[in-house]
Chains A and B, each alone.
Chain A
Amino acid sequence: MTTTDLAVPDESAPVRRHALSRRHREWGLAYLLLLPALLVFGVFTFYPFLKNFKLALYQNPPYPGLPSHYVGLSQVGSVLSSTSFHQSLVSTFFYVLMVVPVGLLGGLLLAIAAHKAIRGMSMFRTAFSSTVVSSVAVAAVVFGTLMDPVVGLLPWLGIDPHPAILQNPTWALPAVSLIAVWQFLGLSFIIMTAGLQSLPDEILEAARLDGAGGWTMFWRVTVPLLSPTLFFGLVVGTIYAFQSFGQIDILIGPQNSGFTHTNVLLYYVYQALSIQHDPGVAAVLSIVLFIILLVFTLAQMRYLERRVTYAAN
């Protein structure tokens, strides 16, 4: 008995050493293969990301060409307390609030409509999802024409928009958000279709047999079952909405974005950097944007974790 006890470590030791060295070799290879990606991310993502935090601590002089100087957190404080920042935050808030729910609900309704097995439905599916691949510039030009005060849709209907929609402090923000909704609809449709297709048919059939009508079916069965998908869409849509830039720049421009209340956060970053040549302010603004999106993403992870029991059923 004693001998066998002794024999065990004697035999296993070389095996373990061998396994260890093999694992080391695998790790080495793994890092080697990761190196190109690490380099690219490091140079184009991580370094600028960290540099941005440093920029936020330096104030730029009012005239270009002079050196910036370290001011610590005072610049952060002054930006966060400025009215133009508050206005931008409010605009962003309303903008996201218009784009995301409408885009999600629209995508869901289109997905439900296209979920039926009807001949020729694939044509509609292609059409519904096509906005994903259309460029924002093209969309902006098309919608810009539709909203034109002279040749657009409203004059054609006999309504004289005055001031023009895109110069109107009330309507400019809904107008640009409409373009974002239109563009997000395709992605939303694809996400919702994928979600719907993964739902077990039998649960929906059981609900039909149990007497659920269209309304109950939608709100009490489909939507709860789709909630992980909806939440995913919510996060993707929010990130998408926060990053809107193209149609504002093309249709409104830096001069008009202020008084038309279309100065959303990302556009404000652009303005601070490229129009006002103030990298410090731009850095502070982009950190705010980063924190908002980070909170959203973390919330999603927490939420989806709670939903794991769903998938296990």
Chain B
Amino acid sequence: MNGSGAVARYTLLELSRRRILLVFFIIGAIGIIALGGGLKVLYQVAASNPQSFASGSVDAATFNHFLELLFVSYVFQALAIFALLIAYAIGMTAIYHDLDSGSAVSIFSKPISRLAFAAGKILAAIVGLIVIVGLLALEARAVMFLFGGGLENALTGQLLAVVANAIVVMLIVLSVSTWINNILAAVVTFIYYNVVTGIIATVHMLADGGLIGNAAVRNVFDVLYWLVPHQLVSSAIRDLAKAQIEIAGGATSNQALASVPAPSGAGDIAWWGFTVLAFAGLVYYAVRRRQV
């Protein structure tokens, strides 16, 4: 589209000069190294003590595997949090700053359509998010070499899920911040996406797991569930929970895993695609209606 490439290019250049993204990235990067290094030191301390693995309840390999599991599950949480922070940081500024500063006045007087502008902004926001979260994930992947390995695919799957979820949040913030103040937009998005949707998804999951008996409640939440965006979940979350239970010596059952989200199915992924299109459409609509 005419002009959307230029909008995307210069929005990315601006993002790369924004200190807050750099700060998020550095904190994330240091956190991952510290976490991996710390767990590895823990292992070394345990291994250097001959008594540690003598009793026979855990051998060195199992312990190492356990630490790696621990690391990966923390990394999953950290990636999800940082992806969300970065999605908010980009979503709150990519379009809003142009509107708030008045830059949009000069930009919109140029021969660029609002569609091309919105497309360029969305493209830049998504690329920015993927680059930052991707670099953090690469770093986590490198740290995993410290351990035995074997969980790399889990990391990739979870990375995809985390980025996919963050894109939805970012598009919501982008569109809402085109109408209202960006801090309000973040609050509105947080309430909609992280609170309301979170509650609906959790109740729906519990109902699916058989923990809610009342059929009427189950039906209501079945309907609500398909009115809100779905957080995508990779199979890694359940695999990890299963492995942790096994390492602790327990037996895995459906009951024990009921509160651990099941991997997203094709329906959820299709629904995700639909929500991305819908919210991208909303961004365009907001940009188009906007007077500056």
Co-assembled chains A and B? no
